[in-house]
Amino acid sequence: MGINKTMKQLIKVGFVLASLATLAVAAFAGPVTGSWRGIVRYDASKLPAESNANHEKLKAQNVRNAASVHLSLAMKADHTFLLSSGSPNGNQNVVGTWAQSGNSIQMTFKKGAKSETDIYSVAKDGKTISITKGPASLVFFR
């Protein structure tokens, strides 16, 4: 998996997590509307093992790249969101809509001509929203 593809997946996961964070706060700790900050966690141990030096270098680079991503999530009262990410590779914004059911937040956004939906989990205390896809996790905090 290339670095750019991995970063795009991490950003996508970030957007999804942002949506879940908003829903979690609404369900457990009051309104989820407002600003959230996020991080990307990348667990290279979840990738298949290969005895290839280039593969190992790529895994290490992906871990470093994930640590350099900065995420912010704005959850709005009209059930829209703006997820912004910044990294040495550039900045990206994703907009969409969100809905909450219990401790799950459904975030829907456009990916090209298609709509895509991710489901985030809200912590019981309502202080974090997260999603994990493969080796990458997005976690949002107030």
- Largest Cα–Cα distance of the chain, in whole Å? 50
- Residue 30: the pLDDT is 45
pLDDT confidence bin for 23, thresholds 50/70/90:
very low
pTM (2 decimals)? Answer: 0.70
| Domain parsing of the chain, residue ranges | 3-141
Q: Of 3-7, 79-83, 123-127, which gets the smallest average pLDDT?
A: 3-7
Question: Can you give the pLDDT at residue 77?
Answer: 93
Dump pLDDT digits (tens) for 34-59. 899 999 998 888 877 776 677 778 87
What class does CATH assign to 3-141? mainly beta
pLDDT surpassing 60 at residue 100: yes
Please say if the pLDDT value at position 134 is more than 60: yes
